[in-house]
């Protein structure tokens, strides 16, 4: 690891106007950096049917890293939404996210995290080499980061931590407005006490709305239920990236790899009468993409009946490297 010597201060965040900021070039671009849920695919200690296929037949089950996307309007300045443990290899795969000029540079100007889960924050520890960026989170999630002093490796004179209030619009990147909003969820696993409130709506689990020229795109990697309020908000969206953790609620128990249901983890399932495909079936949404997919989920198998069922219902299954330009 090369740590930039402290005698150098970090470079200021580029305030330059967008070079390719012409009407035609300005559009929402999303790259899926990681499409798997916590644990990734295959998960290091898992031998479930899907993980086994991911090792033995990677063309039938494409391996995936943990949940994160990159967003841009010009292809030059980028924001990461969530920061997975695999962030370094994710950035290595994508030239647009690598230094484009100068000896030290990054196109990443902002990082926003949607909850305090390990799969969404651990990668921050790998971005400690004194490049400036803004770190956005709700006050509660910033509190979690503050309570874990290891995150102080992000030097405060380089990484500016900014609070985002629920339902307030921020300029995440020059020209890209984002709003975070509460979705039903739960506190991070490592913060669970004796009693866990599932489906609480507050600052601990948020979705993100991106808006450009009237077009809206949503990223909601964790959600316990689609409330009427959430369904209303999503109406008319150009694209939705939504919690695809489990196909069915008791999937991990059936696979013999865990004791928890999806509901207990704060994740609604895709299938069944209580599932997200049913909940959003009548909504007016352009592209529908499942993301944050757990390694037990059979939709990960390219030729599975569940994959076909999801696709027939109009859903795409995210993979690492997927580009979404609604
Ligand atoms: C989740 O999405 O439920 C968490 O990422 C679980 C975990 O911490 O592994
Ligand atoms: Mn997760
Ligand atoms: Zn597995």
CA 128 to chain centroid, in Å, comes to 20
Question: What is the pTM for the complete model shown?
Answer: 0.93
- Residues 31 and 36: their CA atoms lie apart, in Å, by 14
Domain ranges within the chain, ordered by starting residue? 27-324
Burial of 59 (0-12, 13-18, 19+ CB in 10 A): exposed
118 lines ligand 1 (CB under 6 A): yes
CA 205 to chain centroid, in Å, comes to 12
**Tokens 């390219």 belong to which residue?**
302
Helix (H) or strand (E) holding 107: none
CATH number of 27-324, picked from 3.40.50.1220, 3.60.15.10, 3.30.930.10, 3.40.50.300: 3.60.15.10
The preferred substitution site among 68, 86, 119 for testing ligand 1, maximizing ligand atoms within 8 Å of CB, is 119
Start-to-end Cα distance in the chain: 38
- Residues 263 and 269: their CA atoms lie apart, in Å, by 8
Torsion sign, CA atoms 190, 65, 209, 280? negative
- Residues 155 and 129: their CA atoms lie apart, in Å, by 9
The preferred substitution site among 83, 113, 188 for testing ligand 1, maximizing ligand atoms within 8 Å of CB, is 188
119 lines ligand 1 (CB under 6 A): yes
297 CA to centre of ligand 3 in angstroms: 8
117 lines ligand 1 (CB under 6 A): yes
The preferred substitution site among 84, 265, 297 for testing ligand 1, maximizing ligand atoms within 8 Å of CB, is 265
38 lines ligand 1 (CB under 6 A): yes
Q: Output the pLDDT for position 25.
A: 83
CA-to-CA separations, 50 to 67, 173, 210, 265, 317, in angstroms, rounded: 18, 38, 33, 20, 15
- 163 phi and psi angles, rounded to 5 deg: -75, 140
- Residues 28 and 20: their CA atoms lie apart, in Å, by 13
Strands 176-182 and 206-212: antiparallel
296 CA to centre of ligand 2 in angstroms: 14
155 lines ligand 1 (CB under 6 A): no
Q: In a structure prediction context, what are the per-residue pLDDT tens digits for the chain, which is 326 residues long?
A: 544 433 445 555 544 434 444 444 899 999 999 999 999 999 999 999 999 999 999 999 999 999 999 999 999 999 999 999 999 999 999 999 999 988 999 999 999 999 999 999 999 999 999 999 999 999 999 999 999 999 999 999 999 999 999 999 999 999 999 999 999 999 999 999 999 999 999 999 999 999 999 999 999 999 999 999 999 999 999 999 999 999 999 999 999 999 999 999 999 999 999 999 999 999 999 999 999 999 999 999 999 999 999 999 999 999 999 999 99
265 lines ligand 1 (CB under 6 A): yes
Give the number of residues written for the chain.
326
């Amino acid at each position: 690891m090369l740590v930039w010597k402290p005698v150098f201060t970090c470079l200021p965040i580029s305030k330059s106007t967008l070079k390719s900021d012409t009407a035609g070039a300005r559009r929402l671009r999303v790259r899926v950096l990681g499409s798997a849920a916590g644990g990734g695919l295959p998960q290091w200690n898992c031998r479930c049917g899907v993980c086994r296929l991911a090792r033995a037949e990677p063309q039938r089950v494409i391996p995936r890293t943990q949940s994160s996307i990159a967003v841009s309007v010009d292809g030059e300045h980028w924001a990461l939404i969530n920061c997975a443990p695999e962030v370094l290899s994710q950035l290595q795969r994508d030239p647009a996210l690598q230094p484009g000029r100068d000896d030290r540079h990054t196109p990443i100007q902002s990082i926003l995290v949607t909850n305090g889960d390990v799969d969404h924050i651990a990668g921050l520890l790998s971005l400690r080499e004194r490049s400036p960026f803004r770190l956005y989170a709700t006050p509660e999630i910033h509190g979690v980061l503050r309570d874990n002093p290891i995150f102080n490796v992000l030097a405060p004179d380089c990484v500016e931590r900014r609070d985002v209030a629920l339902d307030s619009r921020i300029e995440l990147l020059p020209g890209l407005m984002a709003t975070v909003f509460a979705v039903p969820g739960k506190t991070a696993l490592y913060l669970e006490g004796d009693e866990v409130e599932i489906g609480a709506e507050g600052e601990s689990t948020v979705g993100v709305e991106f808006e450009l020229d009237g077009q809206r795109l949503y990223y909601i990697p964790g959600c316990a239920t689609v409330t009427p309020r959430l369904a209303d908000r999503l109406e008319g969206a150009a694209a939705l990236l939504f919690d695809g953790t489990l196909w069915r609620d008791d999937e991990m128990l059936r696979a013999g790899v865990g004791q928890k249901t999806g509901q207990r983890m704060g994740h609604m399932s895709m299938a069944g009468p209580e599932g997200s495909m049913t909940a959003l079936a009548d909504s007016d949404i352009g592209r529908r993409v499942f993301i944050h997919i757990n390694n037990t989920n059979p939709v990960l198998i390219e030729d599975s009946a569940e994959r076909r069922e999801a696709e027939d219902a109009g859903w795409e299954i995210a993979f690492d490297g997927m580009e979404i330009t609604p």
